[in-house]
Amino acid sequence: MNIIKRGAEGILYKEGDVLVKERIKKGYRIKEIDERLRKERTKKESKLLSEARRSNVPTPNVFEVSEFKIKMEFIDGVRIKELIYNETSDKKRIAEEIGQSVGRLHSNNIIHGDLTTSNMIMKDSKIFFIDFGLGYTSTRNEDFGIDLSVLKEAFKSTHVKYIDILWQSFIKGYKQTNTNSKQVLKTLEEIERRGRYIKRES
């Protein structure tokens, strides 16, 4: 077993050219509850991957889903995190394309839940979105705004040198594919104001 990553939710490993995500059992949970949660989350993630793909957002093809495992296409490319670090990369185009894809997700009521540049991979000039383990569906602007807040914080913490160009280009792309973008961005501003107020209070 060629283990690629161990996370809180489970492990990622390769079987030939196929990537397997397996949710491992948690000893601290009651067996029946643990199995139910792992089954539900595995099913939900595979469904979100397929729904995102149908929404014209590149994601790994899902080949097989069992109780606790998803077998999917292994995206052999460069993580956007590394690509942005590269001084010669076209950061405007990358961020705008990310914005277009997130706009499509939100237009189809899909929340990624962990929008970071570590969960995006460039392959064949396309940006693939991976790891929908924290994702869900929603029609609430609050949830869309939180999704964007996670990405903005990721830009700040990981790519602070390029934050202005990345965020402005992202917003440009997001507006192109999401007719509800104005309201979502307004909600994001409210979320950020609440965050600043909480920090002042503490």
Residues identified as active-site: 114
Structure letter (DSSP) for residue 8: S
* Segment 111-116 long-range contacts (CB within 8 Å, at least 24 positions apart): 111/135, 111/136, 111/137, 111/138, 111/143, 111/144, 111/146, 111/147, 112/147, 113/147, 113/150, 114/150, 115/147, 115/148, 115/150, 115/151, 115/154, 116/81, 116/150, 116/151, 116/154, 116/158
Q: Kindly report the CA angle at 93 between 195 and 170, in degrees rounded to 5?
A: 20
d(CA 110, CA 104): 9
Describe the crossing of helices 181-201 and 141-158 by its angle, rounded to 10 degrees: 60
> CB of 176 within 8 A of CB of 102?
no
